[in-house]
């Protein structure tokens, strides 16, 4: 609901501006930008104008989500680079034995499959040392017994994407 429209009136009566899909357009669109026949003027009911504005709102929302998603992916990749650098050629972050950093980071391993399916990149292909570390961790019974099934995590991500309209 528009902050300027607390009564919940239709988008057409809200004074909030809807931005154009075309990023080269410097002027935001509003219902007054449409001809009277489309904007609810004397002869029009405003149905098409309202539908167009609703589409623009949805497109704008998706564009913002894609930008946030892109930034999150970039940050995630940068963090993987840092982790891989810290890991070096050791089987675990602390050396030869599972340690504190390993225990703190290993819960994310079950999300790697979801990152690959929904994020479009493979941790194993891009960061082979992280993948080898994950396999070493999974050889430890205390780790493998508590890890979530990657397929269930993938299913959960799908549910979240549908719930929040990201798909």
Q: Is the pLDDT of residue 98 over 90?
A: yes
- Classify domain 88-167 at the CATH topology level: Glutathione S-transferase Yfyf (Class Pi); Chain A, domain 2 (1.20.1050)
Residues 6+ positions from 140 with CB-CB distance below 8 Å: 98
Sketch the domain layout of the chain as residue ranges: 1-63, 88-167
DSSP 95: B
Does 71 or 91 have the greater pLDDT score?
A: 91
Contact 80, 126 (CB under 8 A): yes
Structure tokens at 145: 């017994």
Q: What is the pLDDT of residue 105?
A: 93
Structure tokens at 113: 């499959």
Contact 40, 49 (CB under 8 A): yes
User: What's the sign of the alpha-carbon dihedral 11, 14, 20, 21?
Assistant: negative
Q: What is the pLDDT of residue 71?
A: 74
Does 26 or 127 have the greater pLDDT score?
A: 127
Round to whole Å and give the CA distance between 63 and 102: 36
Q: What is the pLDDT of residue 75?
A: 85
- Mean pLDDT score, 116-127: 88
Residues 6+ positions from 92 with CB-CB distance below 8 Å: 98, 99, 102, 133, 136, 137
Averaged pLDDT of the chain: 73
Global model pTM greater than 0.85? no
Round to whole Å and give the CA distance between 105 and 9: 48
Q: Which of the residue ranges 99-113, 115-129, 130-144 would you say has the lowest mean pLDDT?
A: 115-129
Q: Is the pLDDT of residue 40 over 80?
A: no
End-to-end CA distance of the chain: 22
Round to whole Å and give the CA distance between 138 and 109: 9
Q: Is the pLDDT of residue 154 over 90?
A: yes
Round to whole Å and give the CA distance between 131 and 167: 28
Q: What is the pLDDT of residue 27?
A: 46
Q: What is the pLDDT of residue 70?
A: 72
State whether residue 29 is helix, strand or coil: strand
Q: Which of the residue ranges 20-29, 83-92, 117-126, 147-156 would you say has the lowest mean pLDDT?
A: 20-29
């Amino acid at each position: 609901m528009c902050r300027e429209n607390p009564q919940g009136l239709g988008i057409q009566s809200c004074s909030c501006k809807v931005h154009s899909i075309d990023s080269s357009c410097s002027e935001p669109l509003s219902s007054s930008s449409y001809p009277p026949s489309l904007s609810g003027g004397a002869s029009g009911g405003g149905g098409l104008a309202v539908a167009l504005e609703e589409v623009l709102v949805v497109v704008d929302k998706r564009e913002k989500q894609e930008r946030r998603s892109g930034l999150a992916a970039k940050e995630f990749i940068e963090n993987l680079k840092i982790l891989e650098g810290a890991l070096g050629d050791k089987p675990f972050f602390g050396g030869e034995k599972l340690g504190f950093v390993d225990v703190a980071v290993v819960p994310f391993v079950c999300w790697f499959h979801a990152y690959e399916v929904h994020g479009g990149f493979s941790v194993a292909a891009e960061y082979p040392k992280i993948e080898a570390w994950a396999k070493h961790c999974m050889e430890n019974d205390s780790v493998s017994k508590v890890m979530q099934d990657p397929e269930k995590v993938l299913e959960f991500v799908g549910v979240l994407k549908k719930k929040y309209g990201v798909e």
